């Protein structure tokens, strides 16, 4: 079939370009809104009389489909949000696929609740991704649950690997996509940097401020409310296990930390710009103590580099158009780290792309 309904009580349809000619079904199922996820012009006679949203994009793993979720979600919500709120409140799909059969929902009017068709060329990747994103946000589903629900209605639904990755990022971002979400920013950064060897120039990155996320109080760094994240030493000079933070240290104003140059104390980055990853393999506690790494640092004991997003003071170096280079302190010019757009392997064994790194031994992390 050219199109399929997600579920009997969910008035969302996923289809191919050929579904636009199914006007008899549109009338039967009260479909009055259409989202077209294809490039190029559409036949005017096929969309005339319907509320229509046209998003021009390809089924390409380089495409950023996440950026359209707020717009497509609102479009669907405006069409059938009232009924979908009842579906969400019923809890029927909360633990999908469990307990689905225990709740029966029936629309109180005839015909069906207002329906939405989301189509692309084949009705496999782009269209299903858009519907999954809406269901995730509206019903509180994981990416896996959303995909399973849509596949139950349309078995050939199959977002490409990049779209699946983006749905998982969308879930981790709390179903909100904007520049305030580090995971979203870092995905954009990774995609942009992967293209540098091919295009031969540096994309226009969004640079972060060195003190981003700090309160005015935090930027003062008075002795009463700052703490350098270094290991605690006993009288013999051996490293002790880190102690629990005091209530004062865990206050909201202290959640953001800063990196300073160890030589001149210049502020280099706030933790809002850190790109934190899971180490490839765990490090024994005893070994982490020998390394002199405090448990309160933002990165794992195995990691000897802080990976960060582009910071304003790096702009001149990063925009030289080189594939790699050195990073020096903007104040004292001490060597602090390096960058490699094609990525590099962290000391923990994890490959990071891109690799904008500040060497741990050259900086101090401080809680503001």
Count the residues in the chain.
368
Q: Rounded to whole angstroms, how far apart are CA atoms 337 and 319?
A: 16
What is the Cα–Cα distance from 147 to 133, expressed in whole angstroms? 9
d(CA 126, CA 37): 6
What residue ranges in the chain does DSSP mark as E strands?
Answer: 3-7, 10-15, 31-36, 51-54, 115-119, 227-228, 232-233, 239-240, 257-261, 267-270, 305-307, 324-328, 335-340, 344-345, 351-352, 355-359, 363-367
Task: Give the separation between CA 62 and CA 73, rounded to whole angstroms.
Answer: 22
Burial of 179 (0-12, 13-18, 19+ CB in 10 A): exposed
Residues with Cβ within 8 Å of residue 218, at least 6 apart in sequence? 225, 253, 254, 256, 368
User: Does 120 qualify as catalytic in the annotation?
Assistant: yes
At residue 367, the 3 state secondary structure works out as strand
CA distance linking residue 236 with residue 99, whole number of Å: 61
On whether the CB atoms of residues 357 and 269 are closer than 8 A, the answer is: no
Q: Provide the CA 72 distance to its chain's centre, in angstroms.
A: 17
- Phi/psi class of residue 237: alpha, beta or left (left: φ > 0; alpha: ψ in -120 to 50)? left
SS3 12: strand
| Active-site annotation holder among 80, 120, 329, 346 | 120
Query: Quick one: DSSP state of residue 308?
Result: B
Evaluate whether 354 touches 340 at the Cβ level (below 8 Å).
Answer: yes
Active site members: 120
């Amino acid at each position: 079939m050219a199109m399929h309904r997600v579920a009997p009580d969910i008035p969302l349809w996923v289809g191919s370009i050929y579904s636009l000619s199914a006007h008899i079904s549109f009338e039967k199922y009260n479909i009055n809104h259409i989202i077209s996820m294809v490039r190029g012009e559409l036949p005017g006679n096929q969309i005339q009389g319907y509320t229509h949203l046209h998003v021009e994009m390809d089924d390409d793993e380089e495409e950023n489909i996440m950026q359209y979720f707020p717009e497509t979600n609102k479009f669907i919500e405006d069409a059938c949000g009232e009924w979908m709120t009842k579906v969400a409140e019923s809890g029927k799909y909360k633990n999908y696929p469990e307990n689905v059969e225990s709740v029966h929902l029936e629309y109180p009017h005839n015909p069906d609740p207002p329906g939405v068709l989301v189509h692309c060329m084949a009705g496999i990747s782009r269209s299903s991704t858009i519907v999954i994103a809406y269901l995730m946000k509206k019903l509180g589903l994981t990416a896996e649950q959303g995909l399973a629900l849509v596949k139950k209605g349309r078995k050939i639904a199959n977002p490409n690997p990049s779209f699946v990755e983006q749905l998982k990022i969308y879930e981790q971002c709390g179903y909100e996509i904007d520049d305030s979400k580090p995971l979203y920013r870092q995905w954009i950064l990774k995609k942009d940097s992967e293209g540098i060897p091919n295009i031969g120039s540096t994309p226009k990155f969004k640079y972060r401020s060195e003190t981003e996320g700090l309160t005015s109080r935090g930027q003062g760094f008075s002795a009463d409310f700052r703490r350098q994240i270094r290991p605690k030493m006993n009288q013999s000079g051996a490293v002790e296990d880190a102690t629990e933070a005091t209530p004062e240290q865990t206050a909201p104003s202290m959640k953001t930390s800063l990196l300073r140059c160890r030589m001149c104390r210049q502020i280099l980055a706030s933790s809002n710009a850190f790109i934190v990853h899971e180490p490839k393999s765990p490090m024994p506690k005893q070994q982490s103590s020998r390394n002199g790494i405090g448990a309160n640092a933002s990165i794992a004991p195995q990691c000897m580099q802080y990976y960060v997003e582009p910071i304003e003071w790096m702009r001149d170096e990063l925009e030289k158009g080189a594939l790699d280079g050195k990073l020096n302190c903007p104040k004292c010019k001490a060597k602090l780290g390096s960058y490699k757009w094609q990525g590099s392997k962290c000391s923990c064994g994890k490959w990071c792309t891109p690799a904008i790194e500040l060497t741990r031994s050259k900086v101090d992390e401080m809680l503001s």
